[in-house]
């Protein structure tokens, strides 16, 4: 599953191979409310075809018009700003008077973009910097936790798997969750010492890590950009992994199971393991948002939705009266 960055890079390289001229547009900064965050990409072809997005639509239309009438030309990067006035914000569909600053590269270096694509596909975290005055582009290794940067002269964007997800359990739910998470730029890994499940794991780009779950959690050194989800329904596997995960800085720790199963799990963790009430209180269980999930893909959607909400600081309330999902999945 290609991330949005890889889709843009693939489009640029494919169009160049076909003989088309193409530009790369990056969201450098936003003020107020804006549809896309800093670092978002859009590729723009000479005939108006686009890949990716920098806004909700009207700005893309204006960029297409600029490309087709020759206002996006040459080789020097430049800056475009939309929504400076309330009228302009309304014209371009920027909500709440938002303002959007874009860096436009009319002729990006395809060799450097190919190098960037190779690094991302290899699972590397990469920092790309563009100097507006000179047009120079540099690519270097990035550190986990780095954010895009823009000082009006130099634009830095971060590409590759900035977030990690460890899935304990290689069953059906894990398969769907791994695939969906990759689309959101997570570096996904899986642990399941049960041979009957491990032998069938074949999700591309999501390696199966050997060893017991608690050892795998410890070895991966979870950080605030790491999510860990236990899906085996086996206390011998899930509890030990959760013990290490809840003591770590991981931003999200969740476990599959009904409300009663998760209540019993919390009691075990408090009684038999060296965990505080605050640490056990970090556990998301039943895992996932209460969207009435019943099938494995629906359950995976609910889990990834909750992870996304926590990551973005917009966790939705979990009503106590919600009924658990069927088949013991307990996502209510």
pLDDT for 320 equals 42
Q: Write the CB contacts of 320 (distance below 8 Å, at least 6 apart in sequence).
A: none
Find the Cα–Cα–Cα–Cα dihedral 318, 324, 327, 328, rounded to 10°.
Answer: 80
Find out whether 163 and 200 touch, Cβ atoms under 8 Å: no
CA nearest to 331, candidates 261, 239, 235 = 261
Report CA-CA distances (Å) from 141 to 24, 158, 310: 21, 9, 27
Architecture of the domain defined by 163-328: 3-Layer(aba) Sandwich (3.40)
For residues 311 and 95, what is the distance between their CA atoms, to the nearest angstrom?
A: 23
Question: What are the angstrom distances between the C-alpha of 140 and each of 91, 104, 147, 204?
Answer: 38, 21, 14, 26
* Domain boundaries defined on the chain: 4-159, 163-328
Picking from 85, 159, 153, the residue whose alpha carbon sits closest to that of residue 117 is: 159
Single out the residue of 127, 228, 132 nearest to residue 186, CA to CA. 228
**Beta bridge pairs of residue 226:** 164
End-to-end C-alpha distance for the chain, whole angstroms: 29
Q: What is the pLDDT of residue 161?
A: 78
pLDDT, mean of each 10-residue run, the chain (332 residues): 80 96 95 78 96 84 94 96 70 65 96 94 90 96 86 94 92 97 92 94 94 96 94 93 96 94 93 91 94 94 96 68 37 38
Q: What is the pLDDT of residue 319?
A: 44
pLDDT for 330 equals 41
CA distance 213 to 188: 15
């Amino acid at each position: 599953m290609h991330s949005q960055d890889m889709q843009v890079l693939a489009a640029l390289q494919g169009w160049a191979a076909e003989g088309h001229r193409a530009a790369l547009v990056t969201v450098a900064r936003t003020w107020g409310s804006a549809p896309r965050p800093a670092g978002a990409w859009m590729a723009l072809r000479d005939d108006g075809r686009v890949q990716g997005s920098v806004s909700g639509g009207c700005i893309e239309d204006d960029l297409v018009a600029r490309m087709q009438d020759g206002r996006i030309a040459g080789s020097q990067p430049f800056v475009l700003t939309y929504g400076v006035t309330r009228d302009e914000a309304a014209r371009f569909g920027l909500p709440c008077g938002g303002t959007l600053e874009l860096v436009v590269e009319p002729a990006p270096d395809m060799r450097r973009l190919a190098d960037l694509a190779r690094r991302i596909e290899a699972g590397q975290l990469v920092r790309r910097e563009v100097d507006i005055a000179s047009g120079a582009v540099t690519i270097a290794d990035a550190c986990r936790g780095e954010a895009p940067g823009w000082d009006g002269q130099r634009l830095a964007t971060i590409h590759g798997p900035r977030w990690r997800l460890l899935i304990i359990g290689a069953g059906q739910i894990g398969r769907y969750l791994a695939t969906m998470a990759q689309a959101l730029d997570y570096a996904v890994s899986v642990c399941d010492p049960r041979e009957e499940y491990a032998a069938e794991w074949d999700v591309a780009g999501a390696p199966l890590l050997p060893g017991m779950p608690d050892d795998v959690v410890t070895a991966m050194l979870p950080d605030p950009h790491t999510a860990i989800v236990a899906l085996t329904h086996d206390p011998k596997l899930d509890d030990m992994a959760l013990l290490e995960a809840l003591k770590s800085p991981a931003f999200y720790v969740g476990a599959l199971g009904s409300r009663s199963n998760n209540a019993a799990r919390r009691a075990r963790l408090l009684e038999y393991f060296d965990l505080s009430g605050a640490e056990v209180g970090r556990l998301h269980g039943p895992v996932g948002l209460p969207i009435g999930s019943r099938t494995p893909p629906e359950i995976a959607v609910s889990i990834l939705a909750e992870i996304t909400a926590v990551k973005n600081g917009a966790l939705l309330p979990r009503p106590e009266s919600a009924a658990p999902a069927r088949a013991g999945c307990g996502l209510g």
